[in-house]
């Protein structure tokens, strides 16, 4: 029997607000343990939560960026469960009335078709404390760091629309891009600002039943999410074929074993309304004002790049995978550089050069205007492409303008016919056979001669000009 | 005094020159006062010392009130078992006492002490800094011989607080004294509340009705057929909230450790088991049962609660205020079980379910019974207190 997988994701995204969700403590979980705490986020008796407007705005922008519909009324509940990382015994979460419903992301599935993966809802919640287990001493001890307790989170719950691990990976990459675009989170699985749980079940191909699902946790990269889902599908298919029942439970992904291992029975605690946290009522005007703050989303921007700048859909999508790159590209174009030149030089020269130097676009010395000066010299034939690459390398080490670098290091392109003519004559004398081939109309030999002249010029000659002059000399077509 | 006092302030200096200058206030150790023990009557919080003043405490201090100390209280203020609320007034050690009112404790304590007791509207006074148990029901009650003092305190403590986001933004009503014209006020007697009383308590209530009628008020009978559901709703919704909220009072964090646990989980379970008293434990277990096993019943209780609130609001069309019994003499004096506790507070817990203000007035000297309650619509607090002052003034004037 053929099986198909039914997969849904639950994604926790840590918002990058400056404070925690219910108090004014800095939202910096990485600081010295327990440095960022107060009676509210230590959940001391008598303390009352004070909901942060900034957390709300970050969460709303995130929802709007994913096409979700903000609910006019949402409510926090006490989600009851007990664990030492949550010593107050409940987590403030929106169990019944979430912040938004609907929304989704379009991806390209395995057969090349566009497919929309729907989001069921997005709710806000507070993060819990972090446990640290010290096993080294005579008595192993567990320590609790409350820096993360109360950090603002949203949980994105998808519909079970996914059928393959690759779809989950595509979705997560697109989600990460969208959320980074709106600026609500860094969405790094490696750093724990994005945490993904996958719910997986299998069923005979073509049926519509929903079978018992298994929850898989503990993946710390998008790659691991794909691997864990693929493993779990294989495991469940084998179990069903062997006539075993799938039981509702939670499994942990073990990246070393490349397998999921059972953790516990899945536990859903009850939720009790918390009258200490006010009901969140959002007016249509406020929601629209937030929508106006939304930057242009990647898919919209990519369409515009195709329309306005004449890029292909692939080129536009590539630039838009990172909002910084797309913004940089547009800044360069605004400086008057042809879009194709800008696209080509940003993606094939600038980005690799940054990676090589382990620099980020934002913090690099190559500001868009400075880069545009270089490209302008290139398009005016003041330098050639070889020289431009070298000037770019120098621009990382010196703050001087590209013009100054070109002048000081003699990168100017030689286009003067007098100077080129003497080089051409030398080359022709040295390579009579190639000259004969060119006279016989062989294009390849022409290329050879141009290369030789370039070499003789120390790479500074204008190749277009050489071709012109050679063509004149031999009466061939340029 | 030690039998009453839980913590005695060793430096009770009058701090400010405000309107409450020199007023001596006693409170319970579930109101946070920075540096004072705040165990809320429970071993679960043994060794817990408040880090900050509750908003109400800060406002009292600023207005010049003197914090006398805290009185012994029942576990988390639930019921009056072990409570000495009212004792500081009887000993003339304090002028006013703050007593958390979860199901009528402040009014019942006032009745025991023979003083006035007032439970404000829910949302009028900040709960920031109160060690809570049933957050949607409880609020700071005030005990005093003088309703004018209660008014003066409310002037200072009522109104929005940036520490308590659950309070409405509206300004506190004006607590200045105001005149009452009995001929323009109808007072309703809730038939179902009266019928639920024992014969003796009914007679006491009738004496109160007669007193108000003689004072010139129009007395009318009103009816809320669902009145009997108040205790059920309070018990289900209240126990669920308590069970969830008390998760915070995990004991372990404040230093308690019960031996014998095999791992952290066992240690927590044993410590919590040892920390809570029998009555509270049975309440929390009941709440956990509804949370985990009968959630539907909890949701029903919340729905019925909304209906009861609407029902009481409708009565405002027939009567400006309500006259209600405060105690039922047939109920046990020192309840030991949940059922007995709920029986004791059956006449008072309606106001915690609806959030409306309720005032206990001691009986006229020589009249049967301890006294009665007056209640008004939500946020009618200043008029309700003015009504009480009018009634008490009538007694002094001998106009019976």
Interface touch A82/B247, C-beta < 8 Å = yes
Phi-psi region of A290 (alpha: psi -120 to 50; beta: other; left: phi over 0): alpha
A417-474, CATH topology level:
Arc Repressor Mutant, subunit A (1.10.10)
Please, which residues have CB within 8 angstroms of residue A35's CB and are 6 or more apart in sequence? A147
Specify whether the CB–CB gap between B269 and B261 falls below 8 A: yes
Residue A80 forms contact with B (CB below 8 Å): yes
Q: If pLDDT is split at 50, 70 and 90, which confidence band does A450 have?
A: confident
Specify whether the CB–CB gap between B65 and B49 falls below 8 A: no
pLDDT of residue A478: 46
Interface touch A278/B250, C-beta < 8 Å = no
Interface touch B40/A88, C-beta < 8 Å = no
Q: How far is CA B13 from CA A303, B16, B57, B256, in A?
A: 73, 9, 14, 34
Interface touch B292/A50, C-beta < 8 Å = no
Domain edges within chain A? 3-284, 296-409, 417-474
Interface touch A89/B250, C-beta < 8 Å = yes
Residues on chain B touching A47 (C-beta within 8 angstroms):
128-129
Candidates B33, B37, B166: best to mutate against A (most CBs of A within 10 A) is B166
Residue B276 forms contact with A (CB below 8 Å): no
Residue B165 forms contact with A (CB below 8 Å): yes
Q: How far is CA B276 from CA A290, B4, B179, B258, in A?
A: 48, 21, 48, 12
pLDDT of residue B15: 62
pLDDT in 10s for each residue of chain B, 400 residues: 678 888 988 877 666 679 999 999 999 999 999 999 999 999 999 889 999 999 999 999 999 999 999 999 999 999 999 999 999 999 999 999 999 999 999 999 999 999 999 999 999 999 999 999 999 999 999 999 999 999 999 999 999 999 998 898 889 999 999 999 999 999 999 999 999 998 989 999 999 999 999 999 999 999 999 999 999 999 999 999 999 999 888 778 887 888 888 888 888 889 988 999 999 999 999 999 999 999 999 999 999 999 999 999 999 999 999 999 998 877 777 788 999 999 999 999 999 999 999 999 999 999 988 999 999 999 999 999 999 999 999 998 654 4
B 80-119 → A contacts, CB under 8 A: none
Residue B3 has which token pair? 């039998």
CA nearest A51 in B: which residue? Answer: B165
Residue A88 forms contact with B (CB below 8 Å): yes
Interface touch A46/B241, C-beta < 8 Å = no
Residue B302 forms contact with A (CB below 8 Å): yes
A 14-73 → B contacts, CB under 8 A: 39, 43-51
What span, in angstroms and rounded, lies between the C-alpha atoms of A214 and A260? Answer: 10
What span, in angstroms and rounded, lies between the C-alpha atoms of A433 and A158? Answer: 70
Specify whether the CB–CB gap between B80 and B110 falls below 8 A: no
Helix ranges (H only) for A250-380 are 284-292, 298-309, 313-320, 323-334, 339-345, 351-356, 368-379
CA nearest A39 in B: which residue? Answer: B51
Residues on chain A touching B249 (C-beta within 8 angstroms):
45
Q: CB contacts < 8 Å between A and B, how many?
A: 86
Specify whether the CB–CB gap between A217 and A250 falls below 8 A: yes
Residue A82 forms contact with B (CB below 8 Å): yes
Query: Helix (H, G, I), strand (E, B), or coil: what is residue A100?
Result: strand
Specify whether the CB–CB gap between A154 and A59 falls below 8 A: yes
CATH for B5-235+298-396 (3.30.565.10, 3.40.1080.10, 3.30.420.40, 3.90.1300.10): 3.90.1300.10
What span, in angstroms and rounded, lies between the C-alpha atoms of B72 and B291? Answer: 31
Domain edges within chain B? 5-235+298-396
What span, in angstroms and rounded, lies between the C-alpha atoms of A52 and B370? Answer: 48
A213-227 in b/e burial notation, b at 16+ Cβ within 10 A? bbbbbbbbebebbbb
CA nearest A48 in B: which residue? Answer: B128
Specify whether the CB–CB gap between A52 and A17 falls below 8 A: yes
B 31-60 → A contacts, CB under 8 A: 32, 38, 40, 45, 48, 50-52, 54
* DSSP-assigned states of every residue in A177-191: HHHHHHTS----TTT
Residue B130 forms contact with A (CB below 8 Å): yes
pLDDT of residue B168: 87
Specify whether the CB–CB gap between A92 and A126 falls below 8 A: yes
Residue B242 forms contact with A (CB below 8 Å): no
What span, in angstroms and rounded, lies between the C-alpha atoms of B268 and B264? Answer: 6
């Amino acid at each position: 029997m053929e099986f198909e997988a039914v997969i849904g994701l639950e994604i926790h995204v840590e918002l990058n607000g400056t404070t925690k969700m219910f108090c004014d403590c800095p939202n910096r979980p990485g600081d010295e343990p327990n440095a960022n705490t107060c009676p509210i986020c230590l959940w001391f008796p008598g303390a009352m939560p004070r909901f942060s407007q900034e957390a709300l705005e970050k969460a709303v922008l995130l929802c709007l960026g994913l096409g979700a519909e903000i609910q006019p009324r949402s409510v926090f509940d006490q989600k009851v469960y007990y664990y030492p990382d949550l010593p107050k015994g409940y987590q403030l979460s929106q169990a019944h009335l979430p912040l938004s419903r609907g929304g989704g992301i379009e991806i390209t599935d395995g057969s090349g078709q566009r497919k929309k993966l729907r989001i069921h809802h997005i709710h806000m919640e507070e993060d819990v404390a972090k446990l640290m287990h010290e096993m080294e001493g005579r008595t192993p001890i567990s320590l609790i760091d409350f820096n993360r307790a109360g950090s603002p989170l949203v949980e994105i719950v998808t519909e079970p629309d996914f059928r393959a691990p690759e779809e989950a990976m595509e979705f997560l990459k697109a989600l990460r891009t969208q959320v980074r675009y709106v600026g609500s989170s860094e969405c790094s699985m490696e750093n724990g600002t994005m945490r993904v749980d996958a719910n997986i079940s299998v069923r005979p191909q073509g049926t519509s039943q929903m079978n018992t699902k298994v929850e898989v946790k503990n993946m710390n990269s998008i790659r691991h999410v794909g691997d864990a889902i693929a493993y779990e599908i294989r495991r469940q298919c084998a179990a069903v074929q062997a006539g075993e029942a799938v039981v509702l439970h939670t499994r942990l992904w073990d990246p070393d074993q490349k397998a999921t291992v059972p953790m516990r029975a899945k536990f859903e605690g009850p939720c009790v309304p918390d009258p200490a946290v006010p009901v969140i009522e959002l007016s249509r005007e406020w929601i629209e004002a937030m929508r106006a703050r939304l930057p242009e989303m990647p898919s919209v921007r990519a369409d515009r790049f195709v329309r306005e700048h004449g890029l292909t859909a692939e080129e536009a999508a590539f630039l838009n995978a990172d909002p910084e790159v797309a913004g940089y590209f547009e800044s360069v174009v605004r400086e008057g550089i042809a879009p194709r030149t800008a696209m080509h030089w940003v993606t094939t020269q600038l980005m690799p050069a940054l990676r090589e130097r382990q620099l980020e676009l934002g913090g690099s010395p190559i500001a868009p205007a400075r880069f545009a000066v270089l490209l302008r010299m290139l398009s005016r034939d003041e330098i050639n492409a070889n020289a431009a690459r070298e000037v770019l390398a120098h621009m990382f080490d010196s703050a001087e303008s590209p013009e100054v670098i070109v002048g000081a290091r003699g990168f100017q392109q030689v286009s003067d016919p007098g100077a080129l003519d003497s080089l051409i004559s030398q080359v022709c004398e040295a390579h009579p056979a190639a000259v004969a081939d060119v006279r016989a109309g062989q294009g390849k030999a022409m290329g050879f001669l141009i290369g030789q002249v370039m070499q003789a010029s120390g790479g500074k000659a204008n190749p277009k000009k050489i071709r012109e002059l050679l063509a004149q000399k031999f009466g061939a077509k340029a | 005094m030690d039998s009453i006092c839980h913590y005695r302030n060793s430096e009770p200096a009058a701090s400010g020159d405000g309107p409450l200058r020199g007023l001596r206030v006693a409170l319970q150790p579930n109101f946070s006062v920075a540096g004072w023990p705040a165990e809320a009557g429970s071993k679960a919080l043994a060794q817990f010392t408040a880090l900050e003043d509750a908003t109400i405490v800060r406002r009292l201090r600023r207005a010049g009130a003197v914090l006398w100390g805290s009185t012994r209280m029942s576990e988390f203020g639930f019921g009056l078992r072990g409570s000495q609320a009212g004792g500081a007034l009887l000993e003339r050690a304090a002028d006013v006492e703050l007593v958390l009112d979860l199901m009528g404790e402040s009014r019942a304590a006032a009745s025991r002490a023979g003083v006035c007791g007032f439970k404000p509207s829910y949302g009028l006074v900040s709960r920031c800094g109160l060690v809570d148990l049933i957050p949607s029901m409880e609020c700071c009650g005030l005990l005093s011989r003088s309703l004018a003092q209660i008014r003066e305190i409310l002037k200072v403590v009522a109104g929005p607080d940036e520490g308590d986001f659950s309070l409405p933004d509206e300004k506190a009503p004006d607590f200045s004294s105001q005149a009452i014209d009995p001929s323009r006020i109808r007072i309703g007697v809730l038939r179902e509340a009266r019928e639920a009383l024992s014969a003796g308590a009914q007679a006491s209530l009738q004496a109160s009705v007669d007193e108000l009628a003689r004072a010139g008020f129009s007395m009318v009978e009103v009816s809320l057929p669902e009145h009997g559901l108040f205790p059920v709703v309070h018990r289900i919704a209240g126990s669920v909230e308590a069970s969830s909220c008390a998760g915070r009072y995990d004991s372990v964090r404040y230093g308690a450790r019960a031996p014998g646990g095999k791992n952290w989980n066992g240690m927590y379970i044993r410590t919590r088991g040892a920390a809570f008293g029998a009555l509270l434990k049975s309440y929390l277990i009941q709440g956990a049962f509804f949370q985990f096993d009968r959630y539907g019943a909890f949701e029903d209780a919340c729905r019925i609660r909304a209906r009861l609130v609407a029902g009481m609001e409708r009565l405002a069309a027939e009567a400006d205020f309500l006259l209600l019994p405060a105690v039922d003499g047939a109920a046990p004096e020192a309840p030991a079980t949940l059922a007995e506790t709920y029986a004791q507070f059956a006449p008072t817990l309606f106001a915690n379910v609806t959030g409306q203000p309720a005032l206990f007035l001691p009986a006229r000297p020589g009249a049967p019974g301890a006294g009665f309650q007056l209640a008004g619509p939500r946020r009618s607090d200043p008029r309700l207190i003015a009504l009480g002052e009018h009634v008490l003034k009538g007694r002094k004037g001998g106009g019976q």
